[in-house]
């Protein structure tokens, strides 16, 4: 532990300051990244493939050097801290357990390197196996475990030396959907119990929303938005984030007058005007092009006599049964298709292709974003 005087400073565990990483003259993998990670939080770097997530993690782990800027752990530049003193546990997609060693030997390895006495090693190996719910498999070899079990051992090995910081890069990428979802909850649960700082990398937005305290959305080497999951979903600040996180209808138009956090938007085609929420960060004014973001589950099919602040007439193109919801695709003349997700079971009127419907939604459920 380092000496700290101010609580505010001690709350920051990891700090990237204006960090850039170039690979040769052509690739700028990370651009001017500035990010504070708080002690004990679960922070996820989320973004498409090639957006710089792994590079950011590798620089923090010390496997790559920043081209510019600095990285601090506990207020100290990492390049002055030897790799084995950084207290970082790591898990990667390809779990890379030592195949010729037993599970117990794999787990003991980080402790042997740290010269932990033998009796304590035995005790800690058993404790960590209990934690990942694999009690008793210590004498097996990795190839005698399933993929999910191997990945749990990889998580256990990253945690056994009690790191204060854990980095995970797409650790569940190789697992099938059901196991991946189960492991998401298990890793989140381990994080809650240990209270150490986790920095997690994924390209899977559902995984990020499920697991994280905060999410940094990466695109082309820089952070587009840093928010908690609800804010990211409810109040995306850019068109990129709105489309990357969850499903989204995008309506193009031109901004009209703004008032009290709302803005009117004249949709392309020139006949339909809607009211949208205007994000605080938006700088564009009347006359500027904009994209309106509208989540499919926030659109209602209006029954006769019902009204909403925003309404459109549409013709049903198709209705798809998805079990827990119905997925309706409706064509709006001059605008294009709008996707609607209707919860299955409660008062959905019978809909068939060709039927005319009125769609409606609240002003707070659609966001105007800079185009």
Ligand X SMILES: Nc1ncnc2c1ncn2[C@@H]1O[C@H](COP(=O)(O)OP(=O)(O)O)[C@@H](O)[C@H]1O
CB of 291 to ligand X, least distance (A): 25
Q: 216 vs 367, which CB is nearer to ligand X?
A: 216
- 10 Å CB burial of residue 354 (0-12, 13-18, 19+) is exposed
Q: Which is nearer to ligand X, 54 or 293 (CB)?
A: 54
Q: How far, in Å, are 124, 132, 134, 138, 177 from residue 148 at the CA level?
A: 21, 11, 11, 16, 11
- CA distance readout (Å), 80 to 85, 216, 297, 300: 10, 27, 50, 58
Work out whether 54 is an interface residue with Mg ion (CB under 5 A).
yes
Select the span of 20-28, 54-62, 134-142, 192-200 touching Mg ion (CB under 5 A).
Answer: 54-62
**Separation between Cα atoms, residue 302 and residue 322, nearest integer Å:** 21
296 binds, among Mg ion, ligand X, none (CB under 5 to 8 A by kind): none
Q: How far is the CB of 46 from Mg ion (least distance, A)?
A: 11
- Please give the radius of gyration of the chain, using alpha carbons only, rounded to the nearest integer: 25
Ranked by CB distance to Mg ion, the top (closest) residue is 54
Pull the structure tokens for residue 220: 């082309």
Least CB distance to ligand X at residue 159 (A) = 23
Least distance (Å) between residue 54 CB and Mg ion: 3
Nearer to ligand X, 31 or 327 (CB): 31
Instruction: Tell me if 56 sits within 8 A of 219, measured CB to CB.
Output: no
Nearer to Mg ion, 57 or 328 (CB): 57
For ligand X, the binding residues (CB under 6 A) are 23, 27, 29, 47, 49-55
Complex with Mg ion: residue 30 or 190, whichever CB lies closer: 30
The nearer residue to ligand X, 50 or 309, going by C-beta atoms, is 50
Least distance CB 190 / ligand X (angstroms): 23
What are the tokens at 199?
Answer: 């920095």
Which one, 54 or 149, has the nearer CB to Mg ion? 54
| Stretch touching Mg ion by CB under 5 A, among 47-55, 76-84, 137-145, 186-194 | 47-55
CB burial string 140-165: b at 16+ within 10 A, e below: ebbeebeebbbbbbbbbbbbbbebbb
Contact stretch for Mg ion (CB under 5 A) within 2-10, 52-60, 116-124, 141-149:
52-60
Q: Report how far apart, in Å, the C-alpha atoms of 66 and of each of 15, 24, 157, 183 are.
A: 13, 13, 27, 32
Q: Is 106 in the site for Mg ion (CB under 5 A)?
A: no
Q: Is 264 in the site for Mg ion (CB under 5 A)?
A: no
Q: Which does 272 bind (CB under 5 to 8 A by kind): Mg ion, ligand X, none?
A: none
Cα-Cα-Cα-Cα dihedral of 256, 258, 263, 267, to 10°?
0
DSSP state of 173: T
Task: Mark the segment that binds Mg ion (CB under 5 A) among 23-31, 49-57, 220-228, 326-334.
Answer: 49-57
Nearest to ligand X of 29, 335 (CB atom): 29
* Burial of 283 from C-beta contacts in 10 A (0-12 / 13-18 / 19+): exposed
* Site for Mg ion, residues 274 to 293, rule: CB under 5 A: none
| Total of chain residues touching Mg ion, rule CB under 5 A | 1
Token pair of 357, please? 């419907």
On whether the CB atoms of residues 299 and 320 are closer than 8 A, the answer is: no
Q: Degrees (nearest 5) of the Cα angle 295, 179, 202?
A: 55
Structure tokens that stand for 326 in this block: 């119905």
Least distance to Mg ion, CB of residue 45, Å: 9
138 interacts with, out of Mg ion, ligand X, none, CB within 5 to 8 A per kind: none
Evaluate whether 316 touches 330 at the Cβ level (below 8 Å): yes
* Residue 227 interacting entry, from ligand X, Mg ion, none, C-beta within 5 to 8 Å by type: none
Would you mind telling me the total number of residues written for the chain in this entry?
371
* Span of 50-58, 118-126, 133-141, 337-345 interacting with Mg ion by CB under 5 A: 50-58
Q: CB nearer to ligand X: give 55 or 106.
A: 55
Residue 232 sits at the vertex; the CA angle it makes with 229 and 235, to the nearest 5 degrees, is: 135
Binding residues (CB under 5 A) for Mg ion: these are 54
């Amino acid at each position: 532990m380092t000496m700290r005087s101010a609580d505010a400073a001690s709350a920051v565990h990891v700090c990237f300051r204006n960090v850039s990483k170039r690979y040769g003259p052509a690739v700028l993998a990370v651009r001017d990244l500035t990010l504070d990670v708080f002690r004990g939080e679960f922070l996820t770097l989320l973004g498409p493939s090639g957006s710089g997530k792994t590079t950011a993690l590798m620089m923090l782990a010390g496997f790559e050097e920043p081209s510019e800027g600095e990285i601090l752990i506990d207020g100290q530049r990492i390049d002055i801290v030897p790799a084995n003193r950084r207290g970082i546990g790591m898990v990667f997609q390809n779990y890379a357990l030592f195949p010729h060693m037993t599970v117990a030997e794999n787990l003991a390895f980080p402790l042997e390197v740290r010269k932990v006495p033998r009796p304590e090693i035995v005790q800690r190996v058993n404790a960590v196996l209990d934690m990942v719910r694999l009690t008793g498999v210590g004498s097996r070899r990795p190839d005698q475990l399933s993929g999910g079990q191997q990945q749990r051992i990889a998580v256990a090995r990253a945690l056994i030396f009690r790191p204060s910081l854990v980095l995970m890069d797409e650790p569940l990428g190789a697992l099938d959907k059901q196991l991946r979802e189960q492991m998401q909850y298990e890793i989140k649960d381990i994080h809650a119990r240990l209270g150490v700082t986790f920095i997690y990398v994924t390209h899977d937005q559902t995984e990020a929303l499920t697991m994280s305290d905060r999410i940094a959305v990466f695109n082309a080497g820089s952070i587009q938005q840093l928010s908690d999951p609800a804010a990211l979903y409810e109040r995306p600040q850019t068109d990129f984030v709105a489309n990357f996180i969850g499903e989204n209808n995008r309506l193009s138009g031109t901004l009209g007058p703004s008032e009290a956090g709302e803005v009117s938007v004249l949709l392309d085609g020139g006949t339909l005007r809607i009211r949208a929420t205007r994000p605080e960060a938006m700088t564009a004014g009347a006359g500027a092009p904009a994209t309106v973001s509208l989540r499919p589950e926030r659109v209602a099919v209006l029954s006769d006599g019902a009204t909403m602040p925003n309404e459109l007439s549409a013709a049903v193109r198709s209705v798809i049964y998805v079990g827990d919801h119905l997925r309706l695709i409706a064509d709006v003349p001059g605008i294009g298709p709008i996707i609607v997700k209707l919860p299955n079971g409660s008062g959905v009127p019978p809909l068939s292709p060709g039927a005319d419907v009125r769609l409606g939604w609240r002003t707070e459920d659609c966001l105007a974003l800079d185009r």
